[in-house]
C-alpha cells in the first residue's frame, strides 16, 4: 500500500477510535431516560398548536409517568408527615402530584421555534447514594441556555428521574416541599390536595386562554 494511502487509513481509524468514547459517553441508562424525555418534549412542542393544551396533556401523561418516580417525589415533597398518611391519602397525593406535574409540562411546552436539548455529561450525586445527575441543557432559538439537570436512580431495575435542578441549584422537589409540607403541617393533607387541584385548574384555564 502506498505510504500516502496508509497514512489516510491510519488517520481515519484514529479519528473513529477517538470519536467512539464521546459517542457512547451519554449512552447510559440514566442519560437514555433524559434523551427519551427530551425527544418527546420536542415532538410535542412541534405539534403544540395542533394538539392544544388537552392534547399536550394527554401526550405528556404516560411519558412523565414512566420517566419520573412520582411516588418517591410526592413523598419527598410532603416530608416527615408522609409516614402519618393512610395508604388512601398517599395514593391521592401521588395522583394529584402526577396530574399537577403533567399540567405544568403541557402548559410550559406550548410552542416550537427551533429550540433544542443537549446532554452535556453526567456526574455522581454525592447526596444520593447510587444516583446520577444528568447534565442537560435547553437552548432556545436565540441560543440562550437554561440548565435543566435530572437526578436519576434505579427503581426495580428501571432508571427513573426523581428530581430536577434548574440552573444547577434549584431543586424542584425542595421547592415543592417548602410549600407542600407547610400546608400539610398547618392544614392537613386534604387541604393540600384541594390547593393542588385548584392549581391544576388554573394552569389549564390560563393555557386555554392563551390559545391552547
Terminal Cα-to-Cα distance of the chain (whole angstroms): 65
CA–CA dist 180, 209 (Å, integer) = 27
Beta-carbon contacts of 151 under 8 Å, excluding residues fewer than 6 positions away, are 125, 128, 131, 132, 133, 134, 161, 162, 163, 164, 165
- Residue 114's SS3 state is coil
pLDDT for 99-157, tens place per residue? 999 999 999 999 999 999 999 999 988 777 789 999 999 999 999 999 999 999 999 99
Cell of 172: 424542584
Can you give the pLDDT at residue 13?
A: 37
pTM score, whole prediction:
0.84
In this prediction, residue 73 carries a pLDDT of 97
Between 84-88, 140-144, 167-171, 188-192, the lowest mean confidence (pLDDT) is in: 167-171
Residue 82 near residue 120, CB atoms below 8 Å: no
Residues 34 and 134 sit within 8 Å (Cβ to Cβ): yes
| Residue 127: per-residue pLDDT | 76
**Cα–Cα distance between 109 and 114 in angstroms, integer?**
13
pLDDT for 207: 94
Amino acid at each position: 500500500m502506498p505510504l500516502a494511502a496508509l497514512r489516510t487509513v491510519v488517520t481515519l481509524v484514529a479519528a473513529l477510535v477517538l470519536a467512539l468514547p464521546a459517542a457512547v459517553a451519554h449512552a447510559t441508562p440514566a442519560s437514555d431516560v433524559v434523551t427519551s424525555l427530551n425527544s418527546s418534549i420536542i415532538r410535542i412542542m412541534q405539534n403544540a398548536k395542533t394538539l392544544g393544551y388537552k392534547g399536550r396533556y394527554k401526550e405528556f401523561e404516560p411519558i412523565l409517568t414512566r420517566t419520573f418516580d412520582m411516588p418517591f417525589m410526592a413523598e419527598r415533597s410532603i416530608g416527615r408527615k408522609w409516614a402519618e398518611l393512610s395508604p388512601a391519602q398517599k395514593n391521592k397525593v401521588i395522583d394529584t402530584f402526577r396530574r399537577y406535574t403533567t399540567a405544568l409540562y403541557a402548559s410550559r411546552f406550548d410552542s416550537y421555534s427551533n429550540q433544542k436539548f443537549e446532554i452535556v455529561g453526567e456526574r455522581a450525586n454525592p447526596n444520593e447514594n447510587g444516583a446520577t445527575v444528568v447534565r442537560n441543557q435547553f437552548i432556545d432559538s436565540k441560543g440562550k441556555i437554561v440548565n435543566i439537570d435530572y437526578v436519576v436512580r434505579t427503581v426495580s431495575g428501571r432508571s427513573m428521574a426523581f428530581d430536577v435542578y434548574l440552573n444547577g441549584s434549584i431543586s424542584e422537589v425542595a421547592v415543592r416541599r417548602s410549600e407542600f409540607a407547610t400546608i400539610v403541617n398547618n392544614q392537613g393533607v386534604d387541604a393540600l390536595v384541594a390547593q393542588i387541584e385548584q392549581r391544576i385548574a388554573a394552569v389549564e384555564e390560563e393555557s386555554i386562554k392563551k390559545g391552547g
